[in-house]
Amino acid sequence: CGKGVSMKSETVVLLTGGSSGIGQCTARYLAEAGCRVYELSRRDSSQPGIIHLTCDVTREEQVQAAVKTVAEREGRIDIVVNNAGFGISGAVEFTQTADAQRLLDVNFFGMVRVNRAVLPYMREAGRGRIVNLSSVAAVAPQPPSSSNDTAPRQSAHFQLFRMFTPLVFLFSRFFLLYF
């Protein structure tokens, strides 16, 4: 994790998928920069200076409850970082429909649920920032790692993202218009 950025100490950040990887590093970085960080994930994550709330972004009631908890404790939410997600390796023809649906439920609709829950609080405060993260595989195809005979094919993750790219940009524009 990097250092060197200073933010207002009263900045309240809600970050999804912060129990490992890029999300965990981002949560630590923001906490070290002086932000009050709430990390939402399914797995318990005990990190100094970061407040963990158990939340599965595929469960509407859990998202609503987590966002409400942060808003009630802090009086506002200044920044949302949608980081929760996972990828699928392999060619799309070998990807089970249930796996593809799970990917979209977490990576895309999880972001929609969080943003829908937080927007009323940001509108009431008259400010806020939403950052929606994605994988590099979403814009640059990664060869499947399962076998050599499928290597030339694009990954299922990439193909699924390309199908939903117009929706992602529609939602991104919508959120940027407000804040």
Q: Sheet holding 129-132: strands in order across? A: 50-54, 36-41, 12-16, 79-82, 129-132
Do 105 and 58 form a contact (C-beta atoms < 8 A)? yes
Mean pLDDT of the chain: 80
Tell me the C-alpha distance between 111 and 147, whole Å: 32
The Cβ of residue 2 has, within 10 Å, a number of other Cβ atoms equal to 10
Query: How much is the pTM?
Result: 0.76
pLDDT digit string (tens) for 110-138?
999 999 999 999 999 999 999 998 776 65
Segment 57-67, tens digit of pLDDT: 999 999 999 99
Q: In the predicted model, is pLDDT for residue 84 greater than 80? A: yes
CB within 8 A of 153, min separation 6: which ones?
91, 92, 93, 143, 144
Q: What is the DSSP letter of 37?
A: E
